[in-house]
Amino acid sequence: MDRALIVSGSAQAGEQLGGFLRSYGCTSLTTVVSGSEARRLLGTTSFPLILVNTPLTDEFGHDLAVTAAESTGAGILLLCKGDIAEDMAEKVGVYGVCVLPRPIDRAALHQSLRLVEATAARIAMLQRENSKLQGKLEEMRLVSRAKCVLMEQRGMTEPEAHRWIEKQSMDGRTTRRETAARVLAQYGA
């Protein structure tokens, strides 16, 4: 991961985490001390990795981790005291947030980062697939609307309207989406 957001109420801990992430390969680090600052950044900047070192200056931090999980595809690692790590894991684990207890073992942090990175890559792949499927669904809706218009305006049956759109697309070397959009524009639908 080349970019990361570190949210830490302790500037010293933020620097230590930053040093570790640089050694891990992160070249662009952004560090903030509060949840509100982090939320502002999440609205404008995309981070593949978000580390939340609790507690923050204005909140504990688990709500921020959940918000980031719901609104981004980032890998999120929540660092908290060892005695509450299990409780935090139960609260935020269902959102895909990885919880790591403090004090932090360097090897455990490294392994956690690798797991978070793999999870973020999988989420990105699923988002691309979802986007592709949304495009196909939109095309199907557009073609269905165009078939309805052809059935109403030209008295075609559904199979005839379907074949007509397919033939126009092949003959005109256009997509079914473009043909359907032309039909809808022609009939003002």
The domain limits of the chain are 3-104, 133-186
Q: Provide the pLDDT for residue 188.
A: 85
Domains 3-104 and 133-186 alike in fold: no
Q: Which superfamily does 3-104 belong to?
A: Response regulator (3.40.50.2300)
Q: How many CB atoms lie within 10 A of CB 140?
A: 13
Residues of the chain predicted below pLDDT 70: none
Digit-coded pLDDT (tens) for 65-94: 999 999 998 999 999 999 999 999 999 999
Query: What 8-state DSSP symbol labels residue 160?
Result: H
Q: How many residues does the chain have?
A: 189
Cα-to-chain-centroid distance, residue 129: 12
Radius of gyration of the CA atoms of the chain, in A: 25
Alpha-carbon distance 25 to 19, whole Å? Answer: 10
Q: Provide the pLDDT for residue 121.
A: 87
Q: Provide the pLDDT for residue 120.
A: 84
pTM of the model: 0.76
CATH number assigned to the domain covering 133-186: 1.10.10.10
Q: Provide the pLDDT for residue 67.
A: 96
Alpha-carbon distance 74 to 140, whole Å? Answer: 31
Q: Provide the pLDDT for residue 154.
A: 95
